[in-house]
């Protein structure tokens, strides 16, 4: 929001229908819906970089799931004052199942420090 407040200078330009079609097509190709952001990136950087990282999207989704599990534990502790070991085991099992197939630096020998 503060970045938006700092943008006080307005730029305006005219384009032909053909130029507009090209701009719209490029925005669609990059998945950008904000025309100002697209034109600003092109003017300042000369290019738009689109990173399609499905692994990152999966990791973010899994981290959301993990934080949901932590919230479940906290909620149960606050409600009851304690939590059953079976509930913790259930949450751990779901956590392991969610993260199976991912390597982490602290557990993967490929990432081990010499």
Q: Give the Å distances, CA to CA, from 71 to 26, 45, 95.
A: 41, 41, 13
Report yes or no on whether pTM surpasses 0.85: no
CA distance 2 to 96: 40
CA distance 92 to 105: 20
- Tens digit of pLDDT per residue, the chain (114 long)? 566 678 899 889 899 999 999 999 999 988 889 999 899 989 998 888 777 787 788 878 888 877 887 888 888 888 888 777 887 788 778 777 776 766 665 555 554 544
- 101-108, long-range: CB < 8 A, 24+ apart: 102/59, 102/62
Instruction: For the chain, give every domain's residue range.
Output: 2-45, 54-111
């Amino acid at each position: 929001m503060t970045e938006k407040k700092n943008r006080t200078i307005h730029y305006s330009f005219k384009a032909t229908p053909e130029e507009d079609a090209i701009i719209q097509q490029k925005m669609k190709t990059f998945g950008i819906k904000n025309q100002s952001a697209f034109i600003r990136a092109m003017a300042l950087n000369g290019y738009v970089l689109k990173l399609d990282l499905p692994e990152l999207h999966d990791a973010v989704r899994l981290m959301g799931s993990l934080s949901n599990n932590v919230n479940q534990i906290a909620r149960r502790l606050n409600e009851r004052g304690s939590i059953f070991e079976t509930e913790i085991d259930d949450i751990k099992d779901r956590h392991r199942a969610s993260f199976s197939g991912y390597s982490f630096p602290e557990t993967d020998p490929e990432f081990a420090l010499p």
